[in-house]
Structure 1
Amino acid sequence: CVHGALQRLARAPGLFSASQIFHHPELHLRPRFLNDSLRFYGARPYALSGNESLDLQLINAWVREASKGLLPSLLSALPPEPRLLLLSAVHLRAAWRTPLDRKKTVLLPFLRPGHPSRMVPTMTSAKYPVASFTDSRLQVQVGRLELNGGLSLVVLMPRGPLEPLDTLERALDPPNFLGLLRRAARTPLRATALSLPRLRLDLDLDVVALVHDMDFGLFLDAELCGLARGPAAVDAARHRAVL
């Protein structure tokens, strides 16, 4: 069950994940859906008031309370006359299993396809434990670095010129992607020369636009009769992730 898998993932150390539905007060949600939402996610959907300012306060107060202050806000504006809002937020805080020496973080050039390189703080180590291999079919080098709590960071780096980044993204369908992750999980660690840009991610996405670009029409045209009585359609789906 996908709900059970998401629940197990959400219990990972250092990971906060929450989802919530906000809906128009005239959209009557079915009791079975309300019960399932409470059973699987411990939450009941909220009815919007119709006052944009108050509804924004409600939404941002929800994510602030759910994340215990890790995410102070999620939205800055609402779509016009919203009927159904699907919101999710993820925050991950993890530490390297083998700490990196802060004194060895130096400025090094970071290459950007089609743009000048930029000097960025880069973590370095002459002998850092990395599980690495090269996939000759996808022409990609894969590295796995261990974090605390049984987590890992997996880095994919194309071999050769940087132009084929889009080509690599298109090749990473679920079977290929899962195959790389499983191989990385069973590859032993070995001392490796490492240069890794210091990471800080704060990403806010309009999921509807992203799914539209991916041509997943099934999501946008989904039949939502099990959710509410009467016609229902997704107005907005937003996702924020912080690493």
Structure 2
Amino acid sequence: MQIPVVLLFLGLLTVPGRSQNAATEQNSATDGANAGEVEEEDPFYKSPVNKLAAAVSNFGYDLYRQQSSRTATANVLLSPFSLATALSGLSLGAGERTEDVISRALFYDLLNKAEVHNTYKDLLTSVTGPEKSMKSASRIILEKRLRVKPGFHSQLEKSYKMRLRALSGNTQLDLQEINNWVRQQTKGRIMRFMKDMPTDVSILLAGAAYFKGTWKTKFDTKKTALQDFHLDEDRTVKVSMMSDPKAILRYGFDSELNCKIAQLPLTEGISAMFFLPTKVTQNMTLIEESLTSEFVHDVDKELKTVHAVLSLPKLKLNYEEALDSTIKETRLQSLFTSPDFTKISAKPIKLSHVQHKAILELSEDGERSTPNPGVNAARLTFPIEYHVDRPFLLVLRDDTTGTLLFIGKILDPRSV
């Protein structure tokens, strides 16, 4: 893996090199080792849980890129972990050929496959335990009255605590049951998962997630005011903008991506990383293409804690989307045509639908009124100003495992 060389110059982080693709990096590392160049593994990835988190998160970055390219002029918000969990569970019912397809999409081909499902149980506990504010729901829904092999039932529940749902054939009752289940799993935060029940379901993967973040340091509600947000060079809208003239954050500037990066801590070991292009007209594709678990981890290690004048919009984002068309354009395309799921049922079945809903709220709420006195921030000769007043990318990440929890392209923060 290519580690960025990072220099702090006048408070600006310069990153001359970056990871473009996790699989490419691993292959390059292998080639280097074969040539006599031994690259030391980052201690962070020596943990099986963290290594698995990096793999499923890279699936998430890939899925996000695909969805963003399909909706170039619209906001995108995904919580890929919920879909990765459903997909990983589905692999338990796949024959060797189809299991290999899913493994490559989830980057399991770089892991010890024999331990993946047991390790996933530990990852779920770490990221979405009962005490966590992050509420995630994943489910595999099968065509009506399908006879399922008992071995698949037991394996799925053991590793993923996931119960299968076979449709009854009554559209209204099936829709009600699925929505009630998501409401229960998210503690009432997602009241309606789907508007309508899709037709001709063979296998439907369902993934939902809700998170209302609590900052480590709260924003003063008295400083929140309507301010300009630049949609582009010509259009400006008023949004509710939170402000902190004496913020402490982790900051850097990427000269290749031409963007300012800021990271703010939330409670429960979660952080929010903002990628802000320097110009409102800047295409964000280059930033999107750079996002991998390894790149974000490297950036996280190199950002510098500084004092800053900060403003960012309050966010209450609700994104509901059928993603089957998006996933058909990925390396999982064969799951929709002629997969082997004979470990699930003797009857031929295939992936037909992928439904996703993500809700994210970030307001002024915080744990304390002032920053932790133990935080040492660099005092620069000039103030860092970080104003999220134009389109930006947002990555929410679990710091302990590196799991990608949410990723969004926010072109207009008023709605998603």
Contact in 2 for aligned 1:21/1:86 (Cα 8 Å): yes
1:186 to partner: Cα distance: 4.8
- Paired residue type of 2:346: R
Q: 2:346 aligns with which of 221, 225, 229?
A: 229
How many angstroms apart in 1 are the aligned matches of 2:146 and 2:198?
A: 16
Q: 2:328 aligns with which of 193, 212, 216?
A: 212
SS where residue 94 of structure 1 aligns?
Answer: strand
1:219 to partner: Cα distance: 5.2
How many angstroms apart in 2 are the aligned matches of 1:35 and 1:74?
A: 26
Give the structure 1 partner of residue 272 of structure 2: 153
1:218 to partner: Cα distance: 5.2
1:130 to partner: Cα distance: 1.0
- Paired residue type of 1:108: Q
Give the structure 1 partner of residue 305 of structure 2: 189
Contact in 2 for aligned 1:133/1:143 (Cα 8 Å): yes
Q: 2:190 aligns with which of 53, 66, 71?
A: 71
Q: 1:132 aligns with which of 248, 251, 256?
A: 251
- Paired residue type of 2:127: L
Q: Within 5 Å, which residues of 2 pair with 1:75-154?
A: 75-113=194-232, 116-154=235-273
Q: 1:166 aligns with which of 275, 285, 290?
A: 285
Q: 1:62 aligns with which of 181, 193, 197?
A: 181
Per-residue deviation, residues 1-43 of structure 1 (Å, max 9, x unmatched)? 2624344222373111111122123433232321121112223
1:105 to partner: Cα distance: 0.7
1:114 to partner: Cα distance: 7.2
How many angstroms apart in 2 are the aligned matches of 1:114 and 1:211?
A: 33
Give the structure 1 partner of residue 33 of structure 2: none
Which blocks of at least 5 consecutive residues in structure 1 are unaligned?
none
Which blocks of at least 5 consecutive residues in structure 2 are unaligned?
1-115, 361-416
Residues 108 and 19 (structure 1), Cα distance of their counterparts in 2 relative to 1, 3 Å cut: same
Per-residue deviation, residues 113-169 of structure 1 (Å, max 9, x unmatched)? 377221100011111111010122222221100111111111011233433123332
How many angstroms apart in 2 are the aligned matches of 1:93 and 1:65?
A: 17
- Paired residue type of 1:194: L
**Larger strand fraction of residues:** 1
Is residue 2:144 matched to residue 1:8?
A: no
SS where residue 93 of structure 1 aligns?
Answer: strand
How many angstroms apart in 1 are the aligned matches of 2:168 and 2:352?
A: 16
TM norm structure 1: 0.88
- Using the aligned pairs only, state the percent identity: 25
1:217 to partner: Cα distance: 2.6
Residues 39 and 173 (structure 1), Cα distance of their counterparts in 2 relative to 1, 3 Å cut: same
TM norm structure 2: 0.53
Contact in 2 for aligned 1:79/1:235 (Cα 8 Å): no
SS where residue 126 of structure 2 aligns?
Answer: helix
How many angstroms apart in 1 are the aligned matches of 2:333 and 2:201?
A: 20
Residue correspondences, number: 240
Residues 181 and 162 (structure 1), Cα distance of their counterparts in 2 relative to 1, 3 Å cut: farther
Residues 110 and 215 (structure 1), Cα distance of their counterparts in 2 relative to 1, 3 Å cut: farther
1:214 to partner: Cα distance: 5.1
Contact in 2 for aligned 1:27/1:83 (Cα 8 Å): no
1:179 to partner: Cα distance: 1.5
